[in-house]
Amino acid sequence: MKIAMMALLLVAAQTASAHQAHLENFTTKPILADLADLKALDIPVLAKEESVGVGYAVITPEMQQKIQERAHKVGKCGGFEDLTTEKNFAALDFNSMLSSLAEIKAKNDLYDRAPFAAVKLEKSEKIESAVNEVSEQNLREWVTWLSSYPNRFNRSKTPNVHVDDMKRRLQTLLASSTLPYEISLIDHNSTPQKSVRVRITGSTRPNEIVVLGGHLDSINQGWGGGQQAPGADDNASGSANLLEILRIISQKAQPERSVEFFWYAGEESGLLGSAEIAKTYKAEKRDVVAVLQLDMTSYPGAGEFVIGNMTDFTSKWLHEYLRAVNETYLHARIVDDQCGYGCSDHASWFRQGYATLMPFEATMRADNPHIHTAKDVINDKTNFAHSAMYSKLGVVFAMDLANSTARQPY
């Protein structure tokens, strides 16, 4: 291990151009990850920000495997952000990147100390009616379909078979909608897999965007990810939630703000799709009001109708919004928890300064023990009533936030 550490430190000290060329061979990669994970695995930390618990490292494939194995053991989905998604990696200042994360967190923390009124919602009959349209049977059918692929790995020989099928399903789903919408596949530099986006254009404030997303890929922790990876819970469940939300709101009135749905590519390999998308949106100065991430929703390990609210790298304003939605429409039990940096795609948006929310199927240590294996299938522990709760949350998120002027109050 000492020899490996010296080699990695040497890599980090190379000139920018040589470093970039080395990375293109995919023998090592730069990442941001939870600082505690890097330390626990004795991975050299080349830069760090203690206030947010995030470190920068250059890792080998073996190290990546260890990070993913540890993430699985402690209940995480992803576990790191692959920085090869950055087009100009050689020019990046990682200390500034980490400082920026700290600044975003500090700004977010001001919410607790500022004299803002508590978020409250008035019950809407239209929204309540839409919430009641959520179908557990639809969720079961969509999860059954998505988990029928041998795997949805972003670097398989056919990484876009399910992506192309998803586009066709969306075309059928939206055929009867009278709303102005666009279905698109998004190419990425970091992976051959494509992300899927559906945009419903807002009527009066189309430049203000409410985002709902979840990753569409799956992985088996065996080397190369080529083994069976049905990913029924991780993340066919969240992907199905998004389909059900879209099915319902596509038949409602046009929202004032635009609503965008994402099924991200390559989350399991380091937030690949969402990282590129969020960076592009920030560079284009797109006004993303709020981001909801749905990643694993069908295994109620902490109890049926218990929501694990991830409080790190998420918005405190949206934590209050979640509680208001729950009090008004869901009536579940919310338990605050943390998952560390890079546990899912919300981290990509948070790093770009956007307000994010990550409601999880359970607390992290009570999540599905079969994720990232061939055993992640529909079984007697799969609970579609529990999963339906997250679709209901998404329906409110889309219909309420997209028809209001609410946003992070700073």
Note the pLDDT tens digit of each residue in 274-315.
999 999 999 999 999 999 999 999 999 999 999 999 999 999
No. of helices (H) and no. of strands (E), the chain: 13, 13
Confidence of residue 91 (pLDDT cuts 50, 70, 90): low
More confident residue, 124 or 29: 124
Looking at per-residue confidence, does 234 or 18 come out higher? 234
Give 75's pLDDT tier (boundaries 50, 70, 90).
Answer: low
Q: In the predicted model, is pLDDT for residue 165 greater than 90?
A: yes
Mean pLDDT, to the nearest integer, of 160-185?
Answer: 98
pLDDT band at 185 (very low <50, low <70, confident <90, very high): very high
Q: Residue 22's pLDDT band (boundaries 50, 70, 90)?
A: very low
Phi, psi of 37 (to 5 degrees): -65, -45
Among 351, 304, 380, smallest CA distance to 105 is for: 351
Q: Are strands 287-293 and 356-357 parallel, antiparallel or unpaired?
A: parallel
| Residue 14 in this model has a pLDDT that exceeds 80 | no
CA distance 381 to 366: 13
Residue 375 has pLDDT above 90, yes or no: yes
Q: Residue 355 pLDDT more than 90?
A: yes
Q: pLDDT, tens digit, for every residue of 56-68?
A: 999 998 998 888 8
Residue 235, preceding peptide bond in cis (omega within 30° of 0): yes
How long, in residues, is the chain?
410
Q: Is the pLDDT of residue 92 over 90?
A: no
pLDDT greater than 60 at residue 10: no
- Answer whether residue 331 shows pLDDT above 50: yes
- 197: tokens are 């986006």
**Is 288 within 8 Å of 349 (Cβ atoms)?**
yes
Query: How far is 369 from 25, CA to CA, in rounded Å?
Result: 34
Tokens for 332?
Answer: 């579940």
Give the mean pLDDT of 310-327: 96
Which pLDDT score, from 0 to 100, does residue 88 have?
Answer: 64
CA atoms within 13 A on the CB side of 179: 28
Mean pLDDT value across residues 261-272 = 96
* Rounded Cα distance, 404 and 410, in Å: 17
Residue 1 has pLDDT above 80, yes or no: no
When comparing pLDDT for 266 and 72, which is higher? Answer: 266
The yes-or-no verdict on residue 25 having pLDDT over 80 is: no
In the predicted model, what is the mean pLDDT of residues 128-145? 98
Helix axes 136-146, 384-396, angle to 10 degrees: 100
Say what the pTM is. 0.91
Q: How does the average pLDDT of the chain come out, rounded?
A: 90
Q: What is the pLDDT of residue 2?
A: 39
Contacts of 344 (CB under 8 A, 6+ apart): 77, 78, 215, 267, 271, 293, 295, 358
Res. 94 pLDDT band, cuts 50 70 90: confident
Residue with tokens 């066709």: 168
Percent of the chain at pLDDT exceeding 70: 90
Q: What is the pLDDT of residues 212-224, one digit of tens each?
A: 999 999 999 865 5
Q: What are phi and psi of 49, to 5 degrees?
A: -135, 100
| pLDDT of 15 higher than 70 | no
The pLDDT of residue 226 is: 58
Percent of the chain with pLDDT over 90: 78
Q: What is the pLDDT of residues 235-263, one digit of tens each?
A: 999 999 999 999 999 999 999 999 999 99
Where helices occur in 41-182 by DSSP H, the ranges are 61-73, 94-113, 125-131, 136-146, 161-174
Helix pair angle (316-325, 94-113), 10° resolution = 50
CA–CA separation, 274 vs 139, rounded Å? 23
Active site residues: 215, 234, 267-268, 295, 372
